[in-house]
Structure 1
Amino acid sequence: MAGGGGGGGGGVGKVKAGSRPPWVGLAAAVWVQVAAGSAYVFPLYSHAIKEALGYNQKALTMLGVANDVGENVGLVPGVLANRLPPWLILLIGSACALLGFGTLWLAVTKTLVMPYWVPSDLQRLGMSFIGVCDHWKVIAEVGMNTIFVGTFSITKYIDNLCIALCIGTNSSAWLGTAALVTNMRNFPLSRGTVAGLIKGYVAVSAAVYTETFNGMLQNSPTNLLLLLALGIPTACVLVMYFVRPCTPSLDEDNAAEHSHFMFTQISSVVLGVYLMVATILGDTLKLSDAITYLLFGIMILLLLSPLAIPIKMTIYPNKPKREKTSTLALSYSTDSLSGPDQENSEPLLGGTSTFVTGANDSDEATDVDLLLAEGEGAVNLKKKRGPRRGDDFTFREALVKADFWLLFIVYFCGVGTGVTVLNNLAQVGMAVGADDTTILLCLFGFCNFVGRILGGSVSEYFVRSRMLPRPFWMMCTQIIMVITFLLFATGLHSLIYVSTTFLGICYGVQFAVMIPTVSELFGLKDFGLMYNFMLLVNPLGAFFFSALLAGYIYDKEAAKQQPGVLEPSTCLGPDCFRLTFYVCAIVCCCGTLVSVVFIARIKPVYQMLYASGSFRHPRSQQLH
């Protein structure tokens, strides 16, 4: 049976039957997500671009913006994910990586030369003149003409690499969309756990690339760019057959499935701890080549550990509990039949109702749930146009819902402020006198990973056992973030590591909770597009809080400390970021208040969806 092939009808892929294929797909998604972390390694080769092409810091900052935009703007793959099979989404992402990073490699190695990205002497002169005019505010007709010429030529060669870098890092959006939405569909009753796992591996991908860069590539930026250009497509081609829609697991009482998820979570945590220790050892000690290769081999084995589950299922197969799941399986099989020539075809992001039909509750119990929800304002039994929360929404239908924008605001307050600290963590560490900012970055990355794992699994447990809305954990972590930002604002060296730890965990929880919340409230029909729309929070937060706020305050304080320097680049002391941290704390306070309103609105919906202890799709009445 062809697993990843697309049918003739646009976004149609054949559904793979059996209990083993979803776990093979999850293991394959691990490698896809590790490859999708290419945007995190920009600091490893940015200096090589600066040296090879003669860029100044402002030009390099433009490339950094392109790096963030490419990673987070995934609206196109979000739209196409509902029309194309997963293997084709992965193939497009591979092509983006090959084209984008391949172009960067050609530029850095100077395999291709003028006139595409290397500035000529005239362009260098124009750049210098722009810098002078920007400082002294010279306004003259000749000067303005020179600025125009210089800006045009500089923008031309910078834009070439900005576009290339944006295309390369945009591969992350394509790969992440294919891996996430496919596995969310394959494990519809464990959405939080799956989201935390898959996005958790993205969080450790930076450490995986760093370990490879320091060990196997011997700190060579050009080799790293070549690895990104060739390695990402190779990895995707090898695993894209296995990342495909499968018959979903619908037995919520399956103890074996719970143990499989527990094993995968434990192995991912072991990988995260190992990478943090290996990074610190490599940064503080001089390791021999033999030890370096050994550490790299152990990392590969840990990345392969999720394959132990399908291997175990092959050696020790379990007999299916037909009596318990026959109704659900029959429902799925009936809905998935679209005709005599397409008997095993399903779209990548088909409707939730095709496989989540409920727990076979009686009509009377469902009516009671609906009446209770109506009494609390969650639903209205009057007939209206459009779906209710919990049904499958189109993207346009979700955009006009207040809950969609409340979730966007809550996520923006948490992640937008968190990414500000992440982008400036090295400068924050230097400002308070931290000896090695690499350890700070490693600590934040590991805690971000832990937060994603915990956010997915803990929210999954409480939503099943207590019907507690997942955004409750976004509210709790934003309260902690308020305290954390105030700790950062003190500027005490002794608190920098503790603050970084708490912030990394809270940042990861925000991400892991947002994903299943979107799928539960608005369904899986246009989940890929909605999920990628939420990711716009990252570049928006970086622009408002990092570029406009933190950058301005940092430069202003640096100018105070070095009044005689034309463009001071270093600021020391707590005042460099104190006001920024105060603003971030206020924003998180606002996010906490908005989350209280949001939780109150969706609590009856979660009580309806999880009344039986597991996710069930509501009846198809037109409710709002």
Structure 2
Amino acid sequence: MANIVVKGGSRPPWVGLAAALWVEIAAGNAYNFPLYSPALKSVMGFNQQQITMLGVANDIGENVGLLPGIACNKFPPWAILSVGVLACFLGYGVLWLAVSQTVNNLPYWLLWLALLIATNSNAWFGTAVLVTNMRNFPLSRGTVSGILKGYAGISAAVYTLVYSLVLEGSASNLLLFLTLAIPILCLAMMYFIRPCTPASGDDSSEHAHFLFTQAAVILLAIYLLVTAIIITVVSLSDAVSYILVAIMVIFLISPLAIPVKMSIFPSGHLVLGEGETTSTDPLLTPSSSAAYLETLYENGDASDVEILLAMGEGAVKKKRRPKRGEDFRMHEALIKADFWLLWVVYFLGIGSGVTVLNNLAQIGVAFGLEDTTILLALFSFCNFAGRIGSGAVSEHFVRSRAIPRTVLMTCAHIIMTVAFILFAFAIDGILYAATALLGICYGILYAVMVPTASELFGLRHFGVIYNCLLLGNPIGALLFSGILAGYIYDAEAARQGSSTCVGPDCFKVTFLALAGCCGLGTVMSIILTVRIWPVYEMLYSGGSYHLPRNLGH
């Protein structure tokens, strides 16, 4: 790993978290595709199949983050964010040139590639802030993950509000906003997102700070939901529109109140000032050979002779594979059954959820709903609630009873199984309730996977492990949504003699197949939970997180 400067003090982690929330909003820019795709279709003269393939590029770019996962262990956060800024500027810049007709007749392959690059900025933004803040708050991983992913979940509502009230519903203005405003925002925030001295958990106000941040994002979500309803039924003046956006901005900057409060009312215990480091007793300092060997292991280039020399000085006894709860490299995690169990559990659940999300408009029409926007708003809000709630709930139970977070994943799979069965048989009045349940479970699966991976496989190489698990999203979308649901829907529509399918049979087979997937996910999640229960009892014995005794760093 590169030699990265760690900032001391108790305030910088909270400043970094507040800045990271803005970057998470920026990292939701892929959610804007439904807003500008109609303009792209009309201006460029694309058919629906071409637009669908652009949607595939949108999903791939958003979720494939192996490169930022590897890079976050070698470069500081500002460098990772800089790559995202460049990708966002170049990708959306090309799309703006096309939609605004500044440049005519751009080839389809160039627009497909530009969209993939543009949305891949999400992976660079999200990985940089998630990995950095998980390391800055190692004792509150579930809470931090829930907050960050909660903000990502409501970013679509933020963009929709800006699009409707400020950008006047113009796709060209939206793409220009994404080309310029998002990079400027991330450039402004990158100074504050940096590795800090990890919070020790001794500060009694830390819990209150997290509660304040969670309350702020919940109020923001409610405000966005209410505002979205208002602007659909009432015509607003420009002045009122700008006031509503200003209130949203106040909610977004409210987490900065925590470091401001810490500056005005500092806690009584001693904290490190800027640039200060802790002193180390020379007797506790490892030998030069031990430190050198650790560096060699990190870089992966220790020779047998160097290892033997270090062993001779007593630095190590032997090079062994890490145990669960310690820091794993990617190739070490790949040979662990727990990694693949977690991947399959995540893939089955998130793939099923994204299938509903991608086809929610068609599902609404099939069930006889004329305006499907309410379904999208309901799913998005419940997705946010699942993300923010699962982080707090899982954190409570791992600390109080050392219960693995994967218990929540099991519950989510069970609920999704029931919801898909109800969907399949088109029970009266089930549309809204089932959509809400699936949104909550989708959020739970996404938010719980993050801290679980960090607890099982450590934080040192968390970026690449997290992004490898995240591949379950695009793979699930391709298999379950693009192939399964799309084929069955088109076949039923052809049988009806129309391009639009109406009736419960449009998705009945798909829902039953997804119910089977979630049932399998339930079994796999139970097996994973039983396997890792002793790990959580070790990590959270005594009610607080601590590293394994034999952890060598």
Amino acid corresponding to residue 573 of structure 1 in structure 2: G
Contact 1:434 1:493 in 2 (8 A): no
5 Å-filtered alignment, 1:238-277, equals: 238-251=188-201, 253-277=202-226
Q: Measure, in 2, the Cα distance between the counterparts of 1:273 and 1:262.
A: 16
1:55 counterpart SS class: coil
Q: Measure, in 1, the Cα distance between the counterparts of 2:136 and 2:80.
A: 17
* 1:401-436 residue CA offsets vs partner (Å, 9 max, x unmatched): 000000000101110100000000111111111232
Partner of 2:314: none
Contact 1:459 1:470 in 2 (8 A): yes
- Report the CA distance between 1:504 and its aligned residue: 0.6
Partner of 2:454: 519
Partner of 1:428: 363
Identify the match of residue 170 of structure 2 among 211, 220, 224. 220
5 Å-filtered alignment, 1:391-540, equals: 391-492=326-427, 494-540=429-475
Q: Measure, in 1, the Cα distance between the counterparts of 2:240 and 2:281.
A: 51
- Report the CA distance between 1:333 and its aligned residue: 12
1:236 aligns with 2:227: no
Q: Measure, in 2, the Cα distance between the counterparts of 1:162 and 1:578.
A: 32
Q: Measure, in 1, the Cα distance between the counterparts of 2:495 and 2:393.
A: 47
Partner of 2:90: 99
1:188 counterpart SS class: coil
Partner of 2:7: 16
Q: Measure, in 1, the Cα distance between the counterparts of 2:357 and 2:76.
A: 34
Contact 1:16 1:246 in 2 (8 A): yes
* 1:413-465 residue CA offsets vs partner (Å, 9 max, x unmatched): 11010000000011111111123211111111111111001111100000000
1:52 aligns with 2:43: yes
2:266 counterpart SS class: coil
* 1:566-613 residue CA offsets vs partner (Å, 9 max, x unmatched): xx4211111111111111111000000011111111001111111121
1:508 counterpart SS class: helix
1:572 aligns with 2:502: yes
Q: Measure, in 1, the Cα distance between the counterparts of 2:268 and 2:339.
A: 42
Contact 2:33 2:55 in 1 (8 A): yes
Amino acid corresponding to residue 468 of structure 1 in structure 2: I
Partner of 2:524: 594
1:191 aligns with 2:141: yes
* 1:153-188 residue CA offsets vs partner (Å, 9 max, x unmatched): xxxx22111100000000000000000000000000
* 1:323-380 residue CA offsets vs partner (Å, 9 max, x unmatched): xxxxx966799999999xxxxxxx9xx99xxxxxxxxxxxxxxxxxxxxxxxxxxxxx
- Report the CA distance between 1:384 and its aligned residue: 8.0
Amino acid corresponding to residue 508 of structure 2 in structure 1: R
**CA 1:192 to 1:505, structure 2 compared with 1: closer, same or farther past 3 Å?**
same
Contact 1:21 1:242 in 2 (8 A): yes
Q: Measure, in 2, the Cα distance between the counterparts of 1:301 and 1:13.
A: 33
Q: Measure, in 1, the Cα distance between the counterparts of 2:4 and 2:507.
A: 50
Contact 1:428 1:577 in 2 (8 A): yes
Q: Measure, in 2, the Cα distance between the counterparts of 1:335 and 1:74.
A: 39
- Report the CA distance between 1:489 and its aligned residue: 1.6
1:14 counterpart SS class: coil
* 1:4-43 residue CA offsets vs partner (Å, 9 max, x unmatched): xxxxxx7333211111000000000000000110111100
Identify the match of residue 512 of structure 2 among 573, 576, 582. 582
Contact 2:157 2:224 in 1 (8 A): yes
1:615 aligns with 2:545: yes
* 1:52-111 residue CA offsets vs partner (Å, 9 max, x unmatched): 111011111110000000000000001101001001111110000000000000011121
Q: Measure, in 1, the Cα distance between the counterparts of 2:59 and 2:68.
A: 16
Q: Measure, in 1, the Cα distance between the counterparts of 2:51 and 2:75.
A: 36
Task: Give the percent of matched residue pairs that are identical in Structure 1 and Structure 2.
Answer: 56
Q: Measure, in 1, the Cα distance between the counterparts of 2:390 and 2:501.
A: 35
**CA 1:216 to 1:603, structure 2 compared with 1: closer, same or farther past 3 Å?**
same
Unaligned runs of 5+ in 2: 272-276, 289-294, 300-316
**Higher Cα radius of gyration:** 1
TM-score by length of 2: 0.91
Task: Using the TM superposition, name which of 223-232 and 12-21 deviates more.
Answer: 12-21
Contact 1:13 1:244 in 2 (8 A): no
Contact 1:433 1:493 in 2 (8 A): no
Identify the match of residue 160 of structure 2 among 201, 204, 210. 210
Task: Using the TM superposition, name which of 568-577 and 26-35 deviates more.
Answer: 568-577
Partner of 2:262: 313
Identify the match of residue 150 of structure 2 among 200, 217, 222. 200
Amino acid corresponding to residue 530 of structure 1 in structure 2: I
Contact 1:96 1:167 in 2 (8 A): yes
* 1:521-556 residue CA offsets vs partner (Å, 9 max, x unmatched): 000111000111111111111111101110011111
Contact 1:432 1:492 in 2 (8 A): no
* 1:254-278 residue CA offsets vs partner (Å, 9 max, x unmatched): 3200000000001100001111111
Contact 2:136 2:197 in 1 (8 A): yes
Unaligned runs of 5+ in 1: 1-9, 118-156, 323-327, 340-346, 352-381, 563-567
Q: Measure, in 2, the Cα distance between the counterparts of 1:205 and 1:276.
A: 12
Q: Measure, in 2, the Cα distance between the counterparts of 1:527 and 1:333.
A: 31
Partner of 1:182: 132
Partner of 1:288: 237
Identify the match of residue 111 of structure 1 among 84, 91, 102. 102
* 1:377-396 residue CA offsets vs partner (Å, 9 max, x unmatched): xxxxx988310000000001
2:476 counterpart SS class: helix
Contact 1:432 1:493 in 2 (8 A): no
TM-score by length of 1: 0.81
2:205 counterpart SS class: helix
Contact 1:193 1:456 in 2 (8 A): yes
Amino acid corresponding to residue 519 of structure 2 in structure 1: C
**CA 1:444 to 1:335, structure 2 compared with 1: closer, same or farther past 3 Å?**
farther
Contact 1:70 1:168 in 2 (8 A): yes
Amino acid corresponding to residue 419 of structure 1 in structure 2: V
Contact 1:67 1:166 in 2 (8 A): yes
* 1:483-508 residue CA offsets vs partner (Å, 9 max, x unmatched): 11112223346221111111111110
- Report the CA distance between 1:516 and its aligned residue: 0.4
Identify the match of residue 606 of structure 1 among 532, 536, 541. 536
Q: Measure, in 2, the Cα distance between the counterparts of 1:231 and 1:559.
A: 44
- Report the CA distance between 1:314 and its aligned residue: 1.0
Q: Measure, in 2, the Cα distance between the counterparts of 1:529 and 1:333.
A: 35
Identify the match of residue 34 of structure 1 among 25, 35, 38. 25
Number of positions where the alignment pairs a residue of Structure 1 with one of Structure 2: 522
Q: Measure, in 2, the Cα distance between the counterparts of 1:314 and 1:338.
A: 39
Q: Measure, in 2, the Cα distance between the counterparts of 1:590 and 1:332.
A: 53
Contact 2:326 2:551 in 1 (8 A): no
